[in-house]
Structure 1
Amino acid sequence: MEMCRKTLLEKYFFIFVFLIFFISIPKILYGYFYDIIYLETSGYYSLLRGFSIVFIAGSFYVTSLSPNSLHPYGYSKYLKMGQFLVALGIGIISLFLIGHSMIAKYSYHKVPFIDMSGYIIVLLSVIFYLLLIYFMKKVQFSLQEEKKYNNSNNIKKEVGLTIITLIGLVGIEHGYFFLDVVLSIFFFSFLVKETLSVIWESSRFLSDTFSLDEKQICNLVNSIDGASECHNVRAHGTDSDLYVDLHVCMDPKIKIIQTKPIVEQIESSLKASYSSVRDVTVHIEPAKKKGNFI
């Protein structure tokens, strides 16, 4: 199954990138050359959203290159660093270019111009977005990964933003030029929010932010028969992709082979209780009793 996904990713990756550029670049160019700043801003927002979706696909592919498929955490850091740099780059470049466009427009009193191609570009962008979702589904990601890009809220948001974009084009075409300023601020707020969201999530992953409550984890572990004195709980990753390790004490008189079902129960209980937990490492220590740990 994993190899099948990897093959599908190699097959569809360039389609993903192609669709991203066709979702965003036409809007950026049309907005720039026809002096419609909000459409240009919308294009940068679509570009960032598109790359955020494709980085999910890239995350699976990069981690599949790890020599240890059960512990690909180190490889996934490469991808998060790339996601961080792309978001930062798009954010800075778009801020500079949007500012330059606004200064040029209001310094030279440029008037926006709308023709039929503008409507076609906006409608095609939402079609390309839905195609991107369709091809991502063909890769057959796990439910947890799929929720990051394919849910009703994302699709509703894209349709809603498309309707707002079309209303703006109609209004500007009929002389309501103030809509360009209003919608520029509107889409710029979305762009800033998306940029900061990606940077924040990537930063938390790269800095190994602790994302679970140690007391809750220990209460759960200590409730399992044979386990006691849970301590030194550590978690790294993101809220949707966590790697946990912890220490637990067991009766020093039991044999190592007898600890296996207890450890497996700890792992399964944590994964069942926290859907974001991807891997659990349990370090066994003898309880504070006299005896030999055989």
Structure 2
Amino acid sequence: MGATVNSLLAVTQIVSGWLFQSQALIADGVHTLSDLISDGVVLFAAGKASASPDQDHPYGHGRIETLATIVVGLLLALAAIGIAWAAGQRLIAWETLTGPAAPALAFAVLTLVAKEGLYQYTVRVARRIQSPLLQANAWHHRSDAISSLVVLVGIGGALAGWPWLDSVAALIVAIFILHMAWRLIFNSAAELIDTALEPAQVETIHNAIVSVPGVKSAHMLRTRKLGNEAAADVHIQVAPRISVSEGHQIADEVYRAVMSSMSTLRDVTVHVDPENDEEQLRTVGLPLRPDVTEHIRAAWADQPELAAIEQVGLHYLGGRIHITVTLRLDDEHDGAYLNQRAVELSELVRGRPGMEDQLGEVLILYRGRTRNVQPGFDHAR
């Protein structure tokens, strides 16, 4: 649609401007020609940007629209500089200026009507599909319409006896185009450096996150634009001793809630924290499961309960390792004996050299009956 209209207008404006001696009309024709080129960039970019994510572009191809918008802005800037140069040259020799012929006024009116109609059509499509590139192109058409209005006034003034107004109109058109070019380039460049979404949109995402049951708080919420889409990542804090599967389930619910809160989101990454980041920093460098289980084996080397271990649960909280060891219940002993043994076994783990300053709570539990459980250290809780 835009390409067809601009093709006809460019030829009409340049030819009529040449025939009827209107620099403003020729300048507007060159401006229209730049629109035709930009429409080609839009069609190319829209096709590429809609491609599905692939191995080399896991976040999709939305940034192609951003790059294309910058190209449109550069084309506008080049057209504006060319028009301004030509108008300035004519104004320097204003004594020799001659006004345009009367038919130029009719072509200026025709151009204005066509450009405004093209803007109205394009902006409706852009809002429907939420495309910033089409929105930019729509404002490009609006700038054309306004510049055509300036051309109309300039030609009218020239016909009324002020021939220099035709060149002044061309210069005004150039300045207006240059301003629009700067806005397009600046906004697209901001997107290329991962500018965040608008504060209201970020607040919407945050509210969706904290509304999920099990989320105690949300922090490090980061967003970025990807063409007409967006991506986000966030850290959520949950209860510190829940299972891995429950934390994963909460994260999945956060993902679904955030994706439902904003239709333009393409991807959301959720990181689960058992405590706030300041406390988590204290756990950096603590021993992992192989070292901890080896420590327990060494501490209980001569204890019969070593063979009764079913599970070893580890929690890294507050800068320490909290251990929960589950043993098969020995039916031959009463509760008092088992409690006493639990205290003794806990002290053996705590008292063995090597992890004195790294261990927190050491809890010994007994399980009465187990099914389909292979005993040993490989089972985490």
Deviations 1:57-94 (A, max 9, x none): 554322222345xx885523234223323422441344
Alpha-carbon distance change, 54 to 134 in structure 1, aligned in 2, over 3 angstroms: farther
Letter in 2 for 1:119: A
Whether 1:263 and 2:255 are equivalent positions in the alignment is yes
Separation in 2, partners of 1:263, 1:107: 66
State the partner residue of 2:161. Answer: 175
State the partner residue of 1:112. Answer: 99
Deviations 1:99-127 (A, max 9, x none): 13531564382323224255235404632
The CA deviation at 1:195 is 0.8
Identity of aligned residues (%): 17
Alignment of 1:22-61 (within 5 A): 22-24=8-10, 26-28=12-14, 30-31=16-17, 36-47=22-33, 58-61=44-47
For 2:274, which of 280, 284, 287 is the aligned residue? 287
The CA deviation at 1:131 is 5.2
Which has the higher Rg, Structure 1 or Structure 2? 2
State the partner residue of 1:98. Answer: 84
Whether 1:145 and 2:118 are equivalent positions in the alignment is no
Separation in 1, partners of 2:47, 2:123: 13
SS of alignment partner, residue 148 of structure 1: helix
TM-score by length of 1: 0.68
The CA deviation at 1:38 is 3.3
Whether 1:191 and 2:177 are equivalent positions in the alignment is yes
Structure of greater relative contact order (alpha carbons < 8 Å, 6+ residues apart): 1
Alpha-carbon distance change, 262 to 235 in structure 1, aligned in 2, over 3 angstroms: closer
Answer 1 or 2: which has greater helix percent.
1
Letter in 1 for 2:215: A
Q: Decide which moves more: 43-52 or 223-232.
A: 43-52
Gaps of 5+ in 1: 1-14
Whether 1:278 and 2:270 are equivalent positions in the alignment is no
Separation in 1, partners of 2:67, 2:140: 24
Separation in 1, partners of 2:11, 2:110: 14
The CA deviation at 1:18 is 3.0
2:87–2:170: 8 Å Cα contact kept in structure 1? Answer: no
Whether 1:225 and 2:217 are equivalent positions in the alignment is no
1:233–1:247: 8 Å Cα contact kept in structure 2? Answer: yes
Whether 1:127 and 2:119 are equivalent positions in the alignment is no
Separation in 1, partners of 2:51, 2:231: 18
SS of alignment partner, residue 62 of structure 2: helix
SS of alignment partner, residue 75 of structure 1: coil
Letter in 1 for 2:214: G
Separation in 1, partners of 2:169, 2:223: 41
2:84–2:175: 8 Å Cα contact kept in structure 1? Answer: no
State the partner residue of 2:322. Answer: none
1:232–1:246: 8 Å Cα contact kept in structure 2? Answer: yes
The CA deviation at 1:128 is 5.9
**Alignment RMSD, CA only?**
4.3
1:228–1:248: 8 Å Cα contact kept in structure 2? Answer: yes
Whether 1:62 and 2:33 are equivalent positions in the alignment is no
Aligned length: 272
1:38–1:184: 8 Å Cα contact kept in structure 2? Answer: yes
Alpha-carbon distance change, 76 to 155 in structure 1, aligned in 2, over 3 angstroms: closer
Alpha-carbon distance change, 124 to 35 in structure 1, aligned in 2, over 3 angstroms: closer
The CA deviation at 1:56 is 5.5
State the partner residue of 2:234. Answer: 246
For 1:200, which of 151, 174, 186 is the aligned residue? 186
1:84–1:198: 8 Å Cα contact kept in structure 2? Answer: yes
The CA deviation at 1:197 is 1.2
Separation in 2, partners of 1:96, 1:143: 34
1:210–1:236: 8 Å Cα contact kept in structure 2? Answer: yes
Letter in 1 for 2:46: F
Gaps of 5+ in 2: 277-313, 317-379
Alpha-carbon distance change, 72 to 260 in structure 1, aligned in 2, over 3 angstroms: closer
Whether 1:84 and 2:70 are equivalent positions in the alignment is yes
Deviations 1:117-162 (A, max 9, x none): 552354046326525754886x7973533982799x9998766654
Separation in 2, partners of 1:161, 1:93: 13
Separation in 1, partners of 2:178, 2:140: 17
State the partner residue of 2:225. Answer: 237
Separation in 1, partners of 2:120, 2:87: 32
